[in-house]
Structure 1
Amino acid sequence: MTNKTNQQTPPHKIKPISAAVHQGQEVTSPTPKPRNKLTYVPSPLPPEGVARLPSILAFLNISKTSFLNGVREGRYPAGKLLSPRCRVWDVADIRALVAQLGGE
């Protein structure tokens, strides 16, 4: 029969003791989970059709916040929802916006 008190704990299961634990405070520091997130890489605007937000932002060379504030204020066209998490903009509307603002 083995005595469990004589066995060593594997190094990956040892938790460090902080000063807060000694003072009676419980401290938890969650470790972030690794993310397996696929991101959308902006591509050039097609001659016609629709484009997603990263492509629009790269074409207009403005930040996401500036663009979405402009959409809310009515300065930029509102997109269309393809699904609950995917919004697209007509390329013709974006090109008309650039022509109106004096670019291109």
Structure 2
Amino acid sequence: MSQLPETGFLRLPQLLGNPKANPPTPPLIPVGRSTWLAGVRSGRFPAAVKLSPGINAWKVEDIKNLIASF
């Protein structure tokens, strides 16, 4: 968790990892995309913030709290 900034936003590839990136991005949350989105809908995971049409992100503070709760 030390690699996360104090504040800001994270996009889905930053949370779930991106093996096709160069270099590959390791996942912060080890679940698949559909599991993550179902968890957001059910309230298990934090809700996204809509930054613009088609761009959703999650607050770093919410993700840090989620990781700490594991």
Q: What band does the TM-score fall into relative to the shorter chain?
A: 0.7 to 0.9
Aligned mates of 1:85, 1:45 — CA distance in 2? 24
Q: CA deviation at 1:46?
A: 3.0
Q: Does 1:51 align with 2:7?
A: no
Q: Which amino acid aligns with 2:33?
A: K
Structure 2 partner of 1:81: 50
Aligned mates of 1:62, 1:46 — CA distance in 2? 22
Q: Which of 1 and 2 has greater Rg?
A: 1
Q: Name whichever structure is richer in strand by fraction.
A: 2
- 1:3-82 pair list within 5 angstroms: 45-57=4-16, 58-82=27-51
Query: Of the two structures, which has the highest relative contact order with CA contacts closer than 8 Å and spacing of 6 or more?
Result: 2
Aligned mates of 2:32, 2:62 — CA distance in 1? 18
Root mean square deviation, CA, Å: 1.3
Unaligned runs of 5+ in 1: 1-43
Unaligned runs of 5+ in 2: 17-26
Corresponding residue SS for 1:82: strand
Q: Equivalent pairs: percent with the same residue?
A: 41
- 1:81-100 pair list within 5 angstroms: 81-100=50-69
